[in-house]
Chains A and B, each alone.
Chain A
């Protein structure tokens, strides 16, 4: 099992990828996931996160099979 990580909008372009899959081992929070995909950098303050399509906080728990998403501030409407 694993964690699916997705990126949207300007962050997707900065990351240079749409999504990736990580082994869930050792990943306990959204922050852990971010560090794993960004060479250990802290999560930028303005970046929003979601777990399984609900807004989450950096300290929110993640588990095997979750979908975690990172994206910039939203600009719809």
Chain B
């Protein structure tokens, strides 16, 4: 269950294809794949945003994401998962996060993917600093996903 932090841009679709090829070499146990891709918007709280910096806590961020995946795997018994998250400078349209889950049946894939994403949003140590017309500001909280 790889967790990766990326300091530069990535293509989430290509990453999923690459990871699924590895899984395919191990057999065809997966019948369901669910994914969530988070992309940077060009607005937030009613204002245009031109750029964003993503800070994290090296060591704790990876550890916390691993713990989320472990908890999800215990609960849903899926086959594999892939999480990639950007760090550093991000521009509108850039992918920020990919969560992908492979399982035998769709229930586990959908539910585990949602769970991992919501836990990441509420607990993984990342912080966004965005550039708006008046300058830079820290994003103070994430909106609820439900």
Contacts and interface: CB of A to CB of B under 8 A. Distances in A.
Given A9-B55, A53-B57, A76-B121, A71 B63 contact: no
B141 A8 contact: no
Contacts of A72: 127, 138, 140
Given A9-B55, A71-B57, A77 B120 contact: yes
Most interface-central of A9, A74, A76, A77 (chain B CB within 10 A): A76
- Interface residue range, chain A: 10 to 19
Interface in B89-146: 96-97, 117, 120-129, 138-142
A44 interface: no
A73 to B, nearest CB: 5
B140 A69 contact: no
A73 B142 CA distance: 8
B59 A76 contact: no
B1 interface: no
Contacts of B60: 50, 53-54, 69
Contacts of B123: 55, 74
Most interface-central of A6, A72, A73, A75 (chain B CB within 10 A): A75
Nearest to A12: B55
- Closest A-B pairs by Cβ, 9 of them: A76-B126, A9-B127, A53-B60, A77-B121, A10-B138, A75-B139, A75-B128, A76-B124, A73-B141
Interface of A: 6, 8-10, 50, 53-55, 69, 71-77
